């Protein structure tokens, strides 16, 4: 379990720091990931509204697949028989899969959590399913992801201290079982632990220290972006990140807006995933250098300007706002497609700016200027 050894098929190299911000390189069997990295979420084996080539061209090195969805449909064994996720989807680059735990809690019906496993009924056909840490690792191995996640229990906030404590300790015991199952067949891939503990510093400390003792290739900070104010999320990162090994990647799950990402990078986070760029795109909202633009708004109806004439992304500098407004109002599929790629491209543009700024020791200036541009708002 020493992924700093660059001779291994999977390893992380810290290339530079600027304050608590870090830039690095995560090498996986399917390719290299530049960090800080934003992972677009390809939930059911597709990036909604986009071709994979656009995801690649926009600058994404790695994408996320959801174990919960894929194990229910088309099935993990079927994907394995068809060559694994990279071959099945055609993405052919690094992929991270979640353990499914989070989505069982938010999507499945009649779910029950026991020490052994989570049991639930599929939201697709009502079939009874049991997901244990061992089965979750088996599924992720069938999917062939480069980075697998331990199975955990994420508690939505606000929550009682006892419930947060119970879920955090269960997640630690599941971390141990996930690692044992993962190590039963070492194959050069990575397994990340997930820090829980809600909004309670002492429980965050206990979770982080417990995971570090077990030892993982990387550490996710879970249990956040689940309804708490940004200030609470950032405070929990401040409590947790310093307890995690410097030489391992840190992954903040489910985050977030460009502002969330900038604040979390400043506090030492290396990896992010969020459905916001594609989901907001489908709802007509664009992310740009000057903040968000809701193309449903009538003020765009006669505006011939593109979203950003200086953007390196063609669709962002070539399409008139009036056209995007029309597509969104008319419910044209092309509207969702264009705004999804525009948003994924903006997130990757932001990550590239972050990586360059850290590498040049100018992250503070980048942070200030970026926030000023957002605050300037869309002219
Ligand atoms: C890919 C990640 C690995 O997923 C898991 O296996 N477990 C897990 N997923 C989360 C997903 C989250 N999304 C948000 N906000 C949108 N918060 C989240 C928190 C968790 C979490 O605590 N655990």
pLDDT at 111: 86
Q: How far apart are CA 24 and CA 221, in angstroms?
A: 18
Q: How far apart are CA 259 and CA 238, in angstroms?
A: 16
Instruction: Say how far apart CA 118 and CA 373 lie, in whole Å.
Output: 45
Q: Could you read off the pLDDT of 134-167 as tens digits, one per residue? A: 999 999 999 999 999 999 999 999 999 999 999 9
Contacts of 169 (CB under 8 A, 6+ apart): none
Overall average pLDDT of the 118-133 stretch: 92
Is the Cα dihedral 162, 252, 13, 267 positive or negative? negative
Question: CA 39 to CA 146: how far, in whole Å?
Answer: 13
User: Per-residue confidence at 1, pLDDT binned at 50, 70, 90?
Assistant: low
Look at residue 2 in the predicted model and tell me its pLDDT. 64
Bridge partners for 193 per DSSP: 219
Q: For ligand 1, is residue 118 a contact (CB within 6 Å)?
A: no
Q: How far is the CA of 296 from the centre of ligand 1 (A)?
A: 30
CA atoms in the 13 A half-sphere facing the CB of 171: 35
Cα 102 to ligand 1 centre (Å): 5
Give the residue-averaged pLDDT of 231-239. Answer: 98
Closest CA to 66 of 125, 10, 140, 122: 140
pLDDT of residue 280: 98
Locate the ligand 1 atom nearest the alpha carbon of residue 192 and give its number: 3
Q: Give the integer Cα–Cα distance in Å for 167 and 152.
A: 8
Res 129 pLDDT > 80: yes
Closest residue to atom 4 of ligand 1, CA basis:
98
Give 222 Cα–ligand 1 centroid separation in angstroms.
6
Mean pLDDT of the chain: 95
Q: Is the pLDDT of residue 310 over 90?
A: yes
Task: Give the residue, out of 194, 208, 240, 272, with the most ligand 1 atoms within 8 A of its beta carbon, to mutate for a pocket test.
Answer: 194
Active site residue ranges: 98, 273
User: What average pLDDT does this structure show over 95-109?
Assistant: 80
Tell me the pLDDT tens digit for each residue of 166-219. Answer: 999 999 999 999 999 999 877 789 999 999 999 999 999 999 999 999 999 999
pLDDT at 108 over 70: no
* Helices 258-266 and 230-240, axial angle in degrees (round to 10): 30
- pLDDT above 60: residue 224: yes
pTM value > 0.90: yes
Distance of CA 297 to the CA centre of its chain: 29
Is any atom of ligand 1 closer than 6 Å to the C-beta of 249? no
Torsion (CA) 300, 302, 306, 309 in degrees, nearest 10: -110
Q: CA 92, CA 340: separation in Å to the nearest integer?
A: 21
**Sequence-ordered alpha helix ranges (H) in the chain:** 52-57, 67-72, 76-81, 85-89, 101-107, 133-143, 161-183, 201-214, 230-240, 258-266, 276-282, 314-318, 321-330, 333-359, 363-376
State residue 298's pLDDT score.
98
CA–centroid distance, residue 254 to ligand 1 (Å):
6
Whether the pLDDT of residue 3 is over 90: the answer is no
Instruction: Report how far ligand 1's centroid is from the alpha carbon of 271 (Å).
Output: 13
Q: What is residue 312's three-state secondary structure?
A: coil
Whose CA is closest to 118, among 254, 105, 67, 169?
105
pLDDT (tens digit per residue) in 260-308:
999 999 999 999 999 999 999 999 999 999 999 999 999 999 999 999 9
The residue whose CA has the least distance to atom 21 of ligand 1 is: 222
Query: pLDDT of 23-36, one tens digit each?
Result: 999 999 999 999 99
Average pLDDT in the 332-339 region?
A: 98
Which range, of 124-128, 250-254, 335-339, averages the lowest pLDDT? Answer: 124-128
Question: How far lies 277's CA from each of 225, 242, 298, in Å?
Answer: 15, 29, 22
Mutate to test the pocket of ligand 1, among 154, 175, 203 (most ligand atoms within 8 A of CB): 154
218 lines ligand 1 (CB under 6 A): no
Q: Is 194 in the pocket of ligand 1 (CB under 6 A)?
A: yes
Q: Is 223 in the pocket of ligand 1 (CB under 6 A)?
A: yes
- In three-state secondary structure terms, 191 is strand
Tell me the percentage of the chain whose pLDDT exceeds 70: 98
Residue with tokens 């911000």: 21
Residue 172 CB–ligand 1 contact under 6 Å: no
pLDDT at residue 102 greater than cutoff 90:
no
Least confident of 105-114, 249-258, 302-311: 105-114
107 pLDDT tier (thresholds 50, 70, 90): confident
Under the banding of pLDDT at 50, 70 and 90, the label for residue 104 is confident
Report pLDDT for 185: 78
Expressed in angstroms and rounded, the spacing between residue 29 Cα and the centre of ligand 1 is: 24
Helix (H, G, I), strand (E, B) or coil at 225: coil
How far apart are alpha carbons 268 and 36 in whole angstroms?
Answer: 9
Kindly state if the Cβ of 101 falls inside 6 Å of ligand 1.
yes
Report the length, in residues, of the chain.
379
> Of 338, 339, 349, 363, which is closest to residue 258 (Cα–Cα)?
349
Instruction: Looking at the CA of residue 99, tell me the nearest atom of ligand 1.
Output: 6
pLDDT at 293: 97
Q: Which two tokens stand for residue 276?
A: 């916001």
**For the stretch 153-165, what's the b/e string if a residue is b when 16 or more beta carbons lie within 10 angstroms of its beta carbon?**
bbbebebeeeebb
């Amino acid at each position: 379990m020493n992924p700093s050894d660059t001779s291994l098929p999977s390893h992380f190299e810290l290339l530079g720091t600027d304050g608590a911000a870090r830039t690095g390189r995560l090498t996986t069997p399917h390719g290299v990931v530049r960090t800080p990295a934003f992972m677009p979420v390809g939930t059911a084996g597709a990036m909604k509204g986009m071709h994979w080539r656009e995801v690649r061209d926009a600058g994404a090195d790695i994408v996320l697949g959801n174990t919960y969805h894929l194990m229910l449909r088309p099935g993990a064994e079927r994907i394995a028989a068809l060559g694994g996720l990279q071959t099945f989807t055609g993405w052919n680059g690094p992929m991270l899969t979640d353990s499914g735990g989070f989505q069982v809690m938010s999507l499945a019906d009649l779910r029950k959590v026991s020490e052994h496993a989570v049991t639930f009924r599929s939201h697709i056909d009502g079939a009874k399913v049991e997901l244990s840490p061992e089965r979750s690792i088996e599924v992720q191995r069938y999917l062939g992801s480069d980075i697998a996640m331990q199975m955990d229990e994420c508690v939505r906030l606000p929550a009682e201290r006892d419930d947060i404590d119970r879920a955090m300790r269960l997640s630690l015991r599941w971390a141990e079982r996930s690692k044992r199952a993962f190590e039963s067949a070492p194959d050069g891939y990575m397994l990340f632990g997930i820090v829980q503990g809600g909004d309670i510093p002492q429980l965050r400390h206990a979770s982080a220290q417990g995971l570090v003792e077990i030892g993982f290739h990387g550490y996710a900070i879970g249990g956040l972006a689940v309804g708490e104010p940004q200030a609470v999320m950032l405070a929990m990162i401040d409590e947790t990140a310093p307890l995690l090994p410097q030489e391992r990647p840190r992954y903040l799950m489910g985050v977030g807006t460009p502002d969330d990402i900038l604040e979390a990078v400043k506090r030492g986070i290396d990896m992010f995933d969020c459905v916001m760029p594609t989901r907001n795109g489908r709802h007509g909202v664009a992310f740009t250098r000057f903040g968000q633009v809701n193309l449903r708004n009538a003020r765009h109806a006669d505006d011939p300007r593109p979203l950003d004439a200086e953007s390196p992304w063609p669709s962002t500098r070539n399409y008139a706002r009036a056209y995007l407004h029309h597509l969104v109002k008319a419910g044209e599929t092309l509207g969702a497609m264009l705004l999804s790629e525009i948003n994924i491209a903006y997130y990757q543009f932001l990550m590239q700016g972050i990586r360059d700024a850290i590498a040049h020791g100018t992250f503070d200036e980048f942070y200030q200027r970026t926030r000023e541009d957002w605050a300037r708002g869309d002219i």
